[in-house]
Structure 1
Amino acid sequence: MIHVSEFKDLAQLTIHKVGNSSNEESLICSKAPLQLEDETIGQLLITYFIQPFTNAAEYFRFYHESDLQLNEVFQYCRRIFNNPDDFQEQSVNIAKHLYKHSTHPKIKGGELYIAYFSNCQADGEDVEAIGIFKSENRDTYLKVFLDDENYQVNYDDGININKLDKGCLVFNTEEENGFKVSIVDSISKQTEAVYWKDAFLQVQRREDSYHQTETAVNMCKQFIHNKLPTEYEMDRVDQVDLLNKSAAYFKDKEQFQLDDFAQEVLGHPDAIASFKEYRNEYEQANQQSIPDEFDISAPAVKKQQKLFKSILKLDKNFHVYIHGNREMIERGFDEATNMNYYKLLFENES
């Protein structure tokens, strides 16, 4: 996890204005880095830049479909790490590269901040970092001030330091694999926002425990939902029971082991064989690798918890939440009404 307190040394900062080229907006680049003489402003900027990353447990890396060396942002960051004196020149290159990709009509222009942190921490490792941040939305602020013994009200236009629109932190580690990169995009669900991650930065997920956990959770869920019912007579309660067991496994264990998971959750030899076969099919279909063993990422499990929905929906009348013993619920058919029913067994009511 990333914490603001781990970024204490903001060595260099420059600001450029990047407009939307398709809307005939300009690119305006500063000639020199900003001179930060006020310590309070410096700390406010660090909080503005870093606070949005505190819940970002997922890391990416720069890539290029042909050759990593052709990724432009990767090259500009590497030059800064190799020679911090080139900071301003490379920041202009980064701004020009973003401007080139700011062509969608809905992309807003805004200030682009390029920051160089000479010392911070990434997963306990002391490293340098480069921050690339963009503010696209501005807010209106009321100003209350005293004038000739009377309070007056005015307003001003500015940036809300609690709302970073887009951000990227590049840590000077694992250069050979495209660096370790963390990303924030507050409007990532909108189609016009993919330019930040896919076109401008060109990043992909790192093959770390977070990614492996997320992939394995999704694969297990799809196996229980889609594969098992086609091979075995299985009602919805049995599916929910398996989903609950899967969720408990990922939540309680520190390491995923394929054989251990299959035996503990599925149990039956035929189901285990089907699960391992499905793992291979899933890897090929999604071009993702799921190792036999890996460390389970708690943040990834928390994020994916919604996939394990333990809800039994009965027509439009009832939602039954199943959290525990499968033996406490029985399914039957009532011939008098020609309808299915469930019998729930319990000791106490609250």
Structure 2
Amino acid sequence: MLFHQDADFKHLIIHHVGNKSQDEYFTLSEEEVDVHRDEILADLLMQYFMKPFSKANEVYRFYHPNDTLDLNEVYYFARQYFAGEKPFIDFSKDIAKYLYEVTEHPKIKSGELYIVALDNIQMEGEDHKAIGIFKSENKEAYLKVYSEASGLDVNYEEKAININKLDKGVVIVNVEEEEGYKVLCVDQTNGSEAVYWKDDFLKLRTRNDNFQQTGNIMKVYKNFVNEKIDEVFDMDKADKIDLLNRSMNYFKSKETFDEEEFNTEVIGNPDAVSLFKDYKSNFEEEFDTPFQSNFDIAAPAVKKMASSYKSVLKLDKNFHIYVHGKRELLEKGYDEDKGMNYYKLYFENED
């Protein structure tokens, strides 16, 4: 997860990129924007650029189909800047010119291109330098109400930017350079023109290290239990919670994930294991993200996923039962006299 609360702007410049296929052009700025001239402006820009990434869970890396990273233009330009081989303004112009070259779909909108350099971006618990590349394509009308001597008056701004709606953005974190950096991407565009940002301009693919392997297998298993397993097996909510708790205990107590061990200790039932393998294979194929049979479990990924593992039985609006383990101490039944379901809980001590 990425945190920007302590981040600082080091550089900011704004260019304009048109649509090449529509014979539009690009406009390059020669000077940076002095963000720090106004503290409120700096805070608003930081919110506009970075807030969408606070919920971005997928981490990518740059790649190139020829497996030569330096052939990926954005990676190459970023590496030059991070290494101090190219000044920020020259780097930003290279990015703008390259984006213009790949802006060939007729439906791609022209817009402002903001390029920033950031300090103190926190990624997975560590502070790093980062580059942000953001594009605004959609403008909105805003009303402005202000005071006059005789009372209140109203005016408007016809083509303004909504700071809560970033159209496109990418944050390149200066870590693991040789593997293609850690990269987060946002794109609000739908339709056939959407692929140009992530695929044509950036050329990204999902990171597949221990952190990603851990998070993905936990995510896929959680979805399997919540969405798939009861299509074949008759399971109530308490049984599903038990399966999730067993998997969470596995990831918290083990240092290494072993597929056969996980299938035996957590899932147990051979038919359910087979069903999970098929479910996992579909994920691998759909997202082009292969799972390894063995990998080191990344504790930060386990911590991140823990909050999404629900272990609460919600019974009408009267009771919530938090189930932390020992499924055999929870018994479900039906009272014919009352015409209602019930749970019976066994325990030794009451706090």
TM-score if structure 1 supplies the norm length?
0.74
1:20-63 deviation digits (Å, cap 9, x = unpaired): 22223221111222233223212221221111111223311111
1:204 corresponds in structure 2 to: 205
Tell me which stretches of 4 or more aligned residues in structure 1 moved more than 6 Å.
221-229, 239-242, 275-284, 323-327
Q: Unaligned regions of 5+ residues in structure 2, if any?
A: 314-322, 345-351
1:255-270 correspondence runs (5 A)? 255=254, 256-268=257-269, 270=270
Residues 267-294 of structure 1, C-alpha deviation per residue, up to 9 Å, x if partnerless?
25x5588589869977986561324342
Equivalent pair of 1:242/1:265 in contact (CA under 8 Å): no
Contact 2:108 2:193 in 1 (8 A): yes
State the partner residue of 1:86: 87
Distance 1:275 1:241, change over 3 A: farther
Counterpart of 1:41 in structure 2: which amino acid? L
Q: Give the SS at the match of 2:342.
A: coil
Q: Secondary structure at the match of 1:32?
A: coil
CA distance in 2, matches of 1:250, 1:47: 37
Evaluate the alpha carbon distance shift between residue 228 and residue 127 of structure 1 in structure 2; reply closer, same or farther with a 3 A threshold.
closer
Q: State the alpha-carbon separation in 2 of the partners of residues 14 and 5 from structure 1.
A: 21
- The 1:45/1:245 distance shift into structure 2, 3 A limit, reads same
Q: Secondary structure at the match of 1:164?
A: coil
Counterpart amino acid of residue 116 in structure 1: A
**Deviation at residue 93 of structure 1 after TM alignment:** 1.0
Question: In the aligned structure 2, how far is the partner of 1:91 from the partner of 1:236?
Answer: 56
Aligned partner of 1:65 in structure 2 is 65
C-alpha change, 1:220 and 1:47, in structure 2 (3 Å) is: closer
Aligned match for 2:176, one of 148, 160, 174: 174
Provide closer, same or farther for how the CA distance between residues 29 and 21 of structure 1 changes in structure 2, counting only shifts above 3 A: same
- 1:244, CA displacement in angstroms? 4.8
Tell me the equivalent position of 1:35: 34
- SS of the aligned residue for 1:290 comes to coil
1:17 is aligned to 2:9? no
Please give the root-mean-square deviation of Cα atoms over the aligned residues, in Å: 3.9
Q: Which residue of 2 aligns with 1:105?
A: 106
Structure 1 match to 2:302: 297
Secondary structure of the 1:151 match is strand
Q: What is the aligned residue count?
A: 314
Structure 2 letter corresponding to 1:184: V
Distance in 1 of aligned mates of 2:12 and 2:195: 26
Deviation digits for residues 130-186 of structure 1, max 9, x if unmatched?
110111111211112334534321100311112211111111111111111111222
The 3 A distance-change label for structure 1 pair 137 and 329 is farther
Indicate the larger mover: 51-60 or 11-20: 51-60
Tell me, yes or no, if the aligned pair for 2:112 and 2:135 is still in contact at 8 Å: yes
- Cα offset for 1:105? 2.5
> What letter corresponds to residue 94 of structure 2 in structure 1?
N
Q: Which residue is equivalent to 1:75?
A: 76
1:3 maps to which residue?
A: 3
CA distance in 2 between counterparts of 1:68 and 1:76 reads: 11
The Cα of 1:344 is off from its aligned counterpart by 9.0
The amino acid that maps onto 1:111 is E
Q: Is the 8 A contact 1:209 1:297 kept in 2?
A: no
Q: Is the 8 A contact 1:80 1:87 kept in 2?
A: yes
Give the alignment partner of residue 163 of structure 1, picking from 162, 165, 175: 165
Tell me the secondary structure at the aligned position of residue 297 of structure 1.
helix
Task: Please state how far the C-alpha of 1:79 moved relative to its aligned partner.
Answer: 1.1
Verify the 8 A CA contact 2:247 2:266 in the aligned structure 1. no
Contact map agreement 1:16 1:95 (CA 8 A) in 2 = yes
1:291-318 deviation per Cα after TM superposition (whole angstroms, max 9, x unaligned) = 4342353545767x79xxx9xxxxxxxx
Whole-Å separation in 2 of the counterparts to 1:280 and 1:167: 30
1:112-151 alignment to 2 at 5 Å?
112-151=113-152
Identity of aligned residues (%): 35
1:53 aligns with 2:58: no
- 2: CA distance between counterparts of 1:184 and 1:93? 21
Summarize the Cα distance change of 1:214–1:91 in structure 2 as closer, same or farther, 3 Å threshold: same
* Aligned-residue offset at 1:70: 0.3
Distance of 1:228 and 1:199 partners within structure 2:
38
CA contact (8 A) 1:58 1:210 kept: no
Taking the aligned partners of 2:112 and 2:147, their CA distance within structure 1 comes to: 32
Closer, same or farther: CA 290–47 of 1 in aligned 2, 3 Å:
same
Alpha-carbon displacement from aligned partner over 1:222-260 (angstroms, at most 9, x marks no partner): 98899999xxxx944159887555433344542554344
